[in-house]
C-alpha cells in the first residue's frame, strides 16, 4: 500500500512555472508529510513512490543513475532519509530497456550497478517498466537479472514488474516464473482517471481469471494499477466500485492523487479500515467473478476465518438503482453460509444485515456503475 506519482502528476518537469505539480523533491516531501500527519500511514499506506522522469538525462561519470539536480537538489539518499523519518518507505522507478518510457536512461546493461545504487540510497521498492527492450528474450533476461541484482544487495526491496503486460501481445506469460522473480506485476494497460478505464480493467481481469487468480498469494500479486479515487474522472459510485473491487482482487493499493487537496469523502473511502482489512487479508487469495447476469456481476474472495468478501457490481450506465437477488449457495461452492452466516455490508456504508441460513437468498440494491461490498462469515 502506498502512493505513486504517475497517473496524477505524469512527467511534469517544469518546476519554474508550476512547482506544485512538478515531479520534484518538494512533491515527495510534501506527500510524505501529509501521509504521516493525516492518517494515511496509520491506515497502511507506507510507500511513497517515484515513477518515471526523476532522472537526469545522462548517467554520472561512474555510469550511475542520478536524479535531476534541479528538481532533486538534495539527491535521492536525502529524500529516502526524510521519507524514512516520517515512518514511511521510498519507491523508485527504472526500466528494463536502454531508455525509460519517457526517454530517460534505462537499466539495460546496468542491472547490478543500478540495484546497488538504489540500495545505497535506501530505496525500499523498485517499479521496473518494460519499454524499449529489443526482444522478448532481452525483456525476460532483464527482469530476471534485476531480481537477482536486488537480492544480491542484501537490502529488502519490493520488486514491481511490468513483465507480463509486455509479453502478452506475443505470448502467454509463465506466471510461475514471474512470481519466482517479482513481488507484483502488471498485466494490462495503465489506469486512467475514467470509468471506462476501471471497467476495462475489471472486464480484462474477469476474462483472464482462470490464468491469473491461482498464482496470486503472499509474496506475489496481480497489480491492476493505481487507485484514482480523489481525482476528477469517477463519480462517487464508481470510486466505491474501484475501492471494493481492488480489495476483492487482492490488489496492491497504490493511490495516485493529490493528498494535499482531497475531499473528506475520498479520504474516508481510501482509509476505510474494513475495506483495507479485506484487501490485506492474511489468507492472501485473490477474488474472482462467480456469475454474470445481464448487467450484474457477482464476485467473491475467500478470507481467513471462514469468511468471504462478496461484491455485487452493477455495470449498467443508465436508469436508477437495480436489485440483484442470488441464493447464498452460490458462495464458496455452497459452503460460505453452511449451515448459517452473518452478513455485513462494508461499502457503500457499514451496516449489519443479520443472520441468514444456508437456503436463504440475498437481495442487493446497487446504483448504476456502483458496487455493494459484503462480508459473509460462516457460523
- Secondary structure (DSSP) of 313-340: EE---SSS-EEEEEEGGGGGGGTTTSSE
Using the 3D structure, point to which of 280, 307, 324 is the last residue of a domain: 280
Sign of CA dihedral 109, 112, 114, 117: negative
Are residues 309 and 267 part of one domain? no
Looking at the fold, whether 104 and 132 belong to one and the same domain comes out as yes
Share of the chain above pLDDT 70, in %: 100
Instruction: Give the count of domains, the chain.
Output: 2
Summary count for the chain: helices (H), strands (E): 13, 16
Instruction: Give 344's contacts (C-beta < 8 A, 6+ positions apart).
Output: 350, 351, 352, 353, 374, 375, 376, 377
Q: Kindly state whether residues 253 and 334 are assigned to the same domain.
A: no
| Mean pLDDT (the chain, rounded) | 98
Question: Cα–Cα distances in Å, from 76 out to 37, 133, 295?
Answer: 22, 26, 48
Owner of C-alpha cell 452478513? 343
Q: In sequence order, which residues have a C-beta less than 8 Å from that of residue 347 and are 6 or more positions away?
A: 240, 243, 244, 269, 272, 275, 371, 372, 373
Kindly report the CA angle at 199 between 197 and 203, in degrees rounded to 5? 120
How crowded is residue 73: how many other Cβ atoms within 10 Å of its Cβ? Answer: 12
296: CB partners within 8 A, 6+ apart = 312, 313, 314, 315, 322, 324, 366
Closest CA to 243 of 210, 221, 265: 265
Reported confidence tier of residue 68, pLDDT bands at 50, 70, 90: very high
Among 280, 306, 331, residue at a domain's last position: 280
pLDDT of residue 270: 99
Interval 309-328: pLDDT, tens: 999 999 999 999 999 999 99
C-alpha–C-alpha distance, residues 71 and 131, integer Å:
24
Mean pLDDT of 50-73: 98
Place of cell 494490462: 188
Please name which of 334, 332, 288 lies closest in space to residue 313, comparing C-alpha atoms: 288
Q: Measure the CA–CA gap between 183 and 125, rounded to whole angstroms.
A: 10
The pLDDT, as a whole number, for residue 326 is 98
Query: Does residue 198 share a domain with residue 300?
Result: no
Instruction: Tell me: do 243 and 316 sit in the same domain.
Output: no
Q: Cα 100 vs. chain centroid, distance in angstroms?
A: 20
Give me the pLDDT at residue 354, please: 98
Q: Give the residue numbers marked as catalytic.
A: 129, 190
| Of 367, 308, 296, residue with least CA distance to 337 | 308
Quickly state the pLDDT bin for 123 (edges 50, 70, 90): very high
Which of 264, 280, 296 terminates a domain? The answer is 280
Distance CA 209, CA 219 (A): 19
pLDDT in tens, 204-227: 999 999 999 999 999 999 999 999
**pLDDT value of position 343:** 98
Q: Is 126 helix (H, G, I), strand (E, B) or coil?
A: strand
Question: Using CA atoms, how far apart are residues 147 and 157, in angstroms rounded to an integer?
Answer: 10
Q: Residue 222: what are its φ and ψ, rounded to 5°?
A: -70, 135
Q: Is 130 found in the same domain as 6?
A: yes
CATH number at residue 303: 2.60.40.1180
Predicted confidence (pLDDT) per residue in 263-293, tens digit: 999 999 999 999 999 999 999 999 999 999 9
- Give me the domain span that covers residue 300: 288-378
Same domain, 34 and 60: yes
Q: Please, what sign has the CA dihedral across residues 147, 150, 152, 156? A: negative
pLDDT in tens, 141-188: 999 999 999 999 999 999 999 999 999 989 999 999 999 999 999 999
- Do 301 and 264 lie in one domain? The reply is no
Say what the pLDDT of residue 266 is.
98
Residue 321, pLDDT score: 98
User: In terms of pTM, does the model score above 0.85?
Assistant: yes
Query: Which grid coordinates belong to 87?
Result: 515512518
**Do 271 and 292 share a structural domain?**
no
Residue 74's pLDDT is: 98
- Give tens-digit pLDDT for 9-34: 999 999 999 999 999 999 999 999 99
169 with 309, same domain: the answer is no
pLDDT band, very low/low/confident/very high, at 360 (cuts 50, 70, 90): very high
- Looking at the fold, whether 186 and 316 belong to one and the same domain comes out as no
Amino acid at each position: 500500500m502506498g502512493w505513486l506519482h504517475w497517473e496524477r502528476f505524469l512527467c511534469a518537469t517544469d518546476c519554474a512555472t508550476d512547482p506544485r505539480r512538478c515531479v520534484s523533491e518538494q512533491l515527495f516531501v510534501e506527500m510524505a508529510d501529509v501521509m504521516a500527519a493525516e492518517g494515511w500511514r496509520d491506515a497502511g499506506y507506507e510507500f511513497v513512490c517515484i515513477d518515471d522522469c526523476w532522472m537526469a538525462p545522462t548517467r554520472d561519470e561512474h555510469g550511475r543513475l542520478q536524479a535531476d539536480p534541479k528538481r532533486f537538489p538534495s539527491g535521492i539518499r536525502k529524500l529516502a532519509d526524510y521519507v524514512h523519518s516520517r515512518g514511511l518507505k521510498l519507491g523508485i522507478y527504472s526500466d528494463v530497456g536502454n531508455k525509460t518510457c519517457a526517454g530517460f536512461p534505462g537499466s539495460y546493461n546496468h542491472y547490478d550497478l543500478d540495484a546497488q545504487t538504489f540500495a545505497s540510497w535506501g530505496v525500499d521498492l523498485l517499479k521496473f517498466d518494460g519499454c524499449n527492450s529489443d526482444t522478448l528474450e532481452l525483456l525476460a533476461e532483464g527482469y530476471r537479472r534485476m531480481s537477482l541484482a536486488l537480492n544480491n544487495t542484501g537490502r529488502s526491496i519490493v520488486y514491481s514488474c511490468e513483465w507480463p503486460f509486455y509479453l502478452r501481445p506475443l505470448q502467454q506469460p509463465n506466471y510461475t516464473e514471474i512470481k519466482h522473480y517479482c513481488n507484483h506485476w502488471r498485466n494490462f494497460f495503465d489506469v486512467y482517471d475514467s470509468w471506462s478505464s476501471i471497467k476495462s480493467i475489471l472486464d480484462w481481469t474477469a476474462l483472464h481469471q482462470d490464468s491469473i487468480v491461482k498464482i496470486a498469494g503472499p509474496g506475489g500479486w496481480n497489480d491492476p494499477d493505481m487507485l484514482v479515487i480523489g481525482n476528477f474522472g469517477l463519480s462517487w459510485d464508481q470510486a466505491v466500485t474501484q475501492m471494493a473491487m481492488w480489495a476483492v482482487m487482492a490488489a496492491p493499493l497504490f493511490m495516485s492523487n493529490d493528498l494535499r487537496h482531497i475531499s473528506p469523502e475520498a479520504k474516508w473511502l481510501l482509509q476505510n479500515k474494513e475495506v483495507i482489512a479485506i484487501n490485506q487479508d492474511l489468507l492472501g487469495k485473490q477474488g474472482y467473478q462467480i456469475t454474470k447476469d445481464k448487467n450484474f456481476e457477482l464476485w467473491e474472495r475467500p478470507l481467513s476465518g471462514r469468511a468471504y468478501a462478496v461484491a455485487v457490481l452493477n455495470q449498467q450506465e443508465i436508469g436508477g438503482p437495480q436489485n440483484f437477488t442470488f441464493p447464498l449457495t452460490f458462495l464458496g461452492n455452497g459452503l460460505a453460509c453452511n449451515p448459517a452466516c452473518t452478513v455485513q455490508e462494508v461499502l457503500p456504508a457499514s451496516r449489519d444485515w443479520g443472520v441468514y441460513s444456508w437456503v436463504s437468498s440475498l437481495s442487493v440494491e446497487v446504483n448504476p456503475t456502483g458496487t455493494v461490498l459484503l462480508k459473509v462469515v460462516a457460523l
